[in-house]
Amino acid sequence: MMNKVYDTPAAALEGLLHDGMTIACGGFGLCGIPEKLIEALRDSGVKNLTVISNNAGVDDWGLGLLLQTRQISKMISSYVGENAEFERQFINKELEVEFAPQGTLAERLRAGGAGIPAFYTPAGAGTAVAEGKEQREFDGRTYVLERAITADLALVKASKADASGNLVYRMTARNFNPMMATCGRVTIAEVQEICRLGDLGPDGIHTQGIFVDRIVRTASEKRIEQRTVSPRPA
């Protein structure tokens, strides 16, 4: 069996990176992001990246680190409201942005992983999202043709993996990770625990190992994007 386990995030990325590549990155806010792989991407110096992710992290964590170093030239996202540096670069035309409705983005990723080149969706019909795209009417309703997404590299975060690359995500950290894992030509999973073969029940596996090429175990920092607390009682 091919060895998929690597000692460090930098080792897991070795030989895969080049300027101008497209990278799909799992996560939602700061939940379920492959934070150590993102740090290793920053340290590699690779640039002119197109990054596909639901959002762009925050200014000092997640994909926000790559925005700080100007390694991202284009983002394909559905929500970017927590990142001031993203806003600054976008307003100053330093960053190209392609927005997609959140469900459409998820389906574009899933379709790419399933080998489906395009699909019709009612989301975005009659709005700026539909501009320049083919539209058709089905049963009296207008649908927009959306292209699937594939990436040179997909980076995902999981709770557990086995040596074959089968993955289990933890609760809401699952979010976009399963779709990201299937759409990459090469997929790396950052995990918190690597189990023995057979320890993961077949019915409990969320992403099958055939989609995962490399695995690296890391310790998660579990940062909170926004913290809201109740006032202390008098």
Tell me, what DSSP letter sits at residue 31? B
Report the C-alpha gap between 144 and 119 in whole angstroms. Answer: 8
Predicted pLDDT at 229: 81
CA distance 16 to 168: 24
90-148: pLDDT as tens digits: 999 999 999 899 999 999 999 999 999 999 999 999 998 899 999 999 999 999 999 99
| Domain spans of the chain, in order of start | 5-123+130-217
Reduced to 3 states (helix: H, G, I; strand: E, B; else coil), residue 151 is strand
Which amino acid, one-letter code, is at 145?
Answer: L
How do residues 43-65 score in pLDDT, each as one tens digit? 999 999 999 999 888 888 889 99
Dist CA 74 CA 97 (whole Å): 6
Whether 1 has a pLDDT exceeding 70, the answer reads no
**Is the predicted pLDDT of residue 227 greater than 80, yes or no?**
no
How far is residue 150's CA from residue 167's CA, in Å, rounded to a whole number?
Answer: 20
Where in 81-206 does DSSP place strands (E)? Answer: 96-99, 118-121, 135-138, 141-147, 151-162, 167-168, 184-195
What architecture is the 5-123+130-217 domain classified under in CATH? Answer: 3-Layer(aba) Sandwich (3.40)
Identify the burial level of 226 via C-beta atoms within 10 angstroms of its C-beta, where 0-12 means exposed, 13-18 middle and 19 or more buried: exposed
pLDDT in tens, 171-224: 999 999 999 999 999 999 999 999 988 889 888 899 999 999 999 999 887 777
Cβ-contact 65, 57 below 8 angstroms? yes
